[in-house]
Amino acid sequence: MDETQNNDAKAPAPRHRLPVRLTHWINVLALLVLLGSGLQIFNAHPALYWGHASTFAEPWVAMTAEPKGPGLAGFTQVGALKVETTGVLGLSNGERRGFPAWTTLPGYRSLAEGRRWHFFFAWLFVTNGLAYLAWGLASGHFSRNLFPQSAELTPRSLWDEIKDHARLRFHHGRYNALQKLTYLAVVFGLLPLMVLSGLGMSPGVNAAWPWTFELFGGRQSARTIHFLSALALTAFVLVHIAMVLASGPIGQLRAMITGGAAPPRPPGTPS
Amino acid sequence: MTSIPRRGLLTGAGSALLSLTLAGCDQVSRNRGVRATLARAEGLTMAAQRLILSPAALAREFTPADISPDFRANGSLRPAGQAYQDLLANSFADWRLQVEGLVERPLSLSLDDLRSRPARTQITRHDCVEGWSSIGQWTGARLSALLEEAGLKPQARYIVFHCADRLDAFAAGDRGLYYESIDLVDAFHEQTILAYEMNGETLPVKHGAPLRLRVERQLGYKHAKYVMRIEAVESFAHIAGGQGGFWEDRGYEWYAGI
């Protein structure tokens, strides 16, 4: 049986409703631009610190280019660890830069343009996110589809889901508990943290609302958290894409675009 | 066909597609219309910040223990040109700050004159647009008091700071000189001062001697160093590149509260 079908059997409920699909794809665009332009901005000073001010001699993360043999080599330092990362971090295409050209927006070095892209798309991202939150609360999307039932949270049920994931066996048509918990953590944890730590770096917002940087223990801490959150978000997206690829990408993509069509059941999946 | 050339073909096609996409992004980023559209976010940011930021709200002030021992200096570290060297050689005894433009009573003030005007000392965080921050203590003349002394004409909307340093040696004429501008909300803000002291000592050359602007609720590039002349204007469209500042003429936001 197709799990997406309603009991009244008139029209099958779309797997993803229009507001979900719309805000999802706007988010894809916004996060892609925010990541590329964010790395461009990071490259203007490819080092991270904790606290209110920068301790230039002791960054906890730094990407540098230093003399090695007849030329230069790129290095990345994290805490006490320092590794050579020539070609990717610190030095790429013979140029001193934190992240390489293919990861930044624009590819050439321009802090000014990176900032323009970043702030324009930050507004789009925030507006889109607020619209999604308002709709999700009003429509019952969060309570119905994202908050797990207590039966889903028993150790036995969670363990079964972990085993299913490990075997790449997916049940289409509803979110499983691991998926729900991850989406909740991203929607109500990671994405708001991204915005808050961004605001924590703004001198104007800092003057209006000092808690925006005090929350993190200082502006440089906020910058560090902003970077780490972006890293975590990138990891989430990579796993998310891997899951889509593992669970019938054509059907999954079609569902996120048209909303309606039930996906073809991948071979080997029990009905 | 063996699998190796096919894989080579796929990799080649993949990297060609990637370079095309990336070149496309750069092309889009260089497009005038795109730039104009992206720049519109600045108005939204400024409106939003002014909505939540009352004119009197102060930037956080720190304690002497928080002062950075390694406060970084950026931009010009020592202006070139004989005029500045002569002023420096004489410890700026011959230096005068001109306050002019749309004012009732133009002023010409020596460092001693400035030191006798209403002053303020504050320990604040300096946020560079590049991403780093340093904390320092600044003492200077309150800009609001100087502007009241000069008397702004009703048409005055911006205060422009003309500096001694030429930061872009290749730009023709005035366009290579550093300058900045702020509106009257920031000009009359309590923490907006013309600093002649840093961390309790005479302002060092690399930090803008003899005088630098502190406008604490905005990024570092607004804090013009080596200030020579202050001009009250109705619009800054006629000055240099017309965007209100050296970095603004090179694509940075005029409103630097973010």
Most B CBs within 10 A among A35, A52, A211, A220, hence the mutation to make, goes to A52
Q: Select from B29, B58, B72 the Cβ nearest to the Cβ of A106.
A: B29
Min distance A202 CA to chain B CA atoms (Å): 4
In chain A, % of residues over pLDDT 70: 90
Predicted TM-score of the model (pTM): 0.92
Q: Are B31 and A115 in contact (CB under 8 A)?
A: no
In a domain, A91, yes or no: yes
Q: What is the pLDDT of residue A261?
A: 55
Which of A101, A107, A220 is nearest residue B133 as measured by Cβ atoms? A220
Interface list for B 113-152 with A (CB within 8 A): 125, 127-135
**Residues of A in Cβ contact (< 8 Å) with B253:** 115-116, 119
Contacts of A117 in chain B (CB under 8 A): 29, 38
ipTM over 0.85: yes
Establish if B247 touches chain A: CB-CB under 8 angstroms: yes
> What value does the mean pLDDT of chain A take?
91
pLDDT in tens, B90-127: 999 999 999 999 999 999 999 999 999 999 999 999 99
Per CB-CB distance under 8 Å, the chain B contacts of A51 are none
Whether B252 contacts chain A with CB within 8 A: yes
In angstroms, the separation between the Cα of residue B122 and the nearest Cα of chain A is 14
A246 burial type by CB count under 10 A (0-12 exposed, 13-18 middle, 19+ buried): middle
Confidence (pLDDT) at A12: 63
User: In terms of Cα–Cα distance, which of B63, B98, B92 is closest to B79?
Assistant: B92
Can you give the pLDDT at residue A241? 95
- Answer whether residue A119 is part of any domain: no
| Residue B198: pLDDT over 70 | yes
Q: pLDDT at position B19, please?
A: 79
Say whether residue B26 is in contact with chain A using an 8 A CB cutoff: yes
Let me know if residue A27 belongs to a domain: no
User: CA B74 to CA B23: how far, in whole Å?
Assistant: 32
Nearest to B143 by CA among B245, B256, B227, B62: B227
What local confidence, expressed as pLDDT, does residue A1 receive?
37
In this complex, the residue of B26, B42, B59 whose CB is nearest that of residue A203 is: B59
pLDDT band at B4 (very low <50, low <70, confident <90, very high): low
The encoded tokens of residue B14 equal 């993949």
- Amino acid B2: pLDDT: 47
Given a cut of 60, whether residue A262 has pLDDT beyond it is no
Interface list for B 47-106 with A (CB within 8 A): 49, 52-54, 57-60, 62, 66, 68, 70, 72
- The Cα A53–Cα A65 span in angstroms is 23
pLDDT of B5 reads 61
Q: Give a yes or no: residue A267 inside a domain.
A: no
Query: Does A78 reside within a domain?
Result: yes
Residue A216 lies in a domain: no
Tens digits of per-residue pLDDT, A91-125? 999 999 999 999 999 999 999 999 999 999 999 99
pLDDT of residue A6: 42
Q: Is A271's pLDDT higher than 70?
A: no
Interface of A with B (CB under 8 A): 36, 41-42, 44-45, 47, 49, 52-57, 101-102, 105-108, 110-113, 115-117, 119-120, 122-123, 201-210, 213, 219-220, 223
- Indicate the range of A100-104, B6-10, B156-160 predicted with least confidence: B6-10
Q: Of A249-258, B38-47, B239-248, which gets the smallest average pLDDT?
A: A249-258
Contact between chains at A207 and B18 (C-beta distance less than 8 A): no
- Choose the closest CB to B26 out of A108, A201, A202: A108
Distance from CA of B168 to the nearest CA of A (A): 16
Helix/strand/coil (H/E/C) assignment for every residue in chain B: CCHHHHHHHHHHHHHHHHHHHHHHHHHHHHCHHHHHHHHCHHHHHHHHHHHHCCCCCCCCCCCHHHCCCCCCCCCCCCCCCHHHHHHHHCCCCCCCEEEEECECCCEEECHHHHHCCCEEEEEEEEECCCCCEEEEEEEEEEHHHHHHHHCECCCCCEEEEEEEEECCCCCCHHHHEEEEEEEHHHHCCCCCEEEEEECCEECCHHHCCCCEEECCCCCHHHCCCCEEEEEEECCCCCCCCCCCCCCHHHCCCCCCCC
Q: Does a structural domain hold residue A82?
A: yes
CA distance linking residue B143 with residue B158, whole number of Å:
13
Q: Tokens representing B211? A: 């005088």
Per the structure, the complete domain to which residue A85 belongs is given by: 48-98
Please compute the mean of the pLDDT values over residues A264-271 and round it to a whole number: 48
pLDDT digits (tens, 9 = 90+) for B10-56: 778 878 887 788 888 899 999 999 999 999 999 999 999 999 999 99
Residue A264 to residues A49, A173, A240, A255: CA-CA distances in angstroms? Answer: 49, 11, 19, 11
The size of the A-B interface in CB pairs under 8 A is 134
Q: Do A110 and B29 touch (CB under 8 A)?
A: yes
Which chain A residues are Cβ-neighbours of B59 within 8 angstroms? Answer: 203, 206-207
Whether A199 maps to a domain, the answer reads no
Q: What is the pLDDT of residue A73?
A: 97
Using an 8 Å Cβ cutoff, are B183 and B252 in contact? Answer: no
Q: What are A161-184's pLDDT values in tens digits?
A: 888 888 888 877 678 889 999 999
A206 to each of A223, B49, B128, B216, how far by Cα in Å? Answer: 13, 10, 14, 10
- Average pLDDT rounded to a whole number, residues B232-246: 97
Burial A131-144 (b: 16+ CB within 10 A, else e): ebbebbeeeeebee
B37 interface with A at CB cutoff 8 Å: yes
SS3 of B116-171:
CCCEEEEEEEEECCCCCEEEEEEEEEEHHHHHHHHCECCCCCEEEEEEEEECCCCC
- How many domains, in total, are found in chain A? 1
CB contact under 8 A, B252 and A113: no
User: Which chain A positions have a beta carbon within 8 Å of B222's beta carbon?
Assistant: none
State how beta strands B227-233 and B97-101 pair.
parallel
Question: Is A226 or B29 the better-scoring residue by pLDDT?
Answer: A226
The predicted structure's pLDDT at residue B7: 67
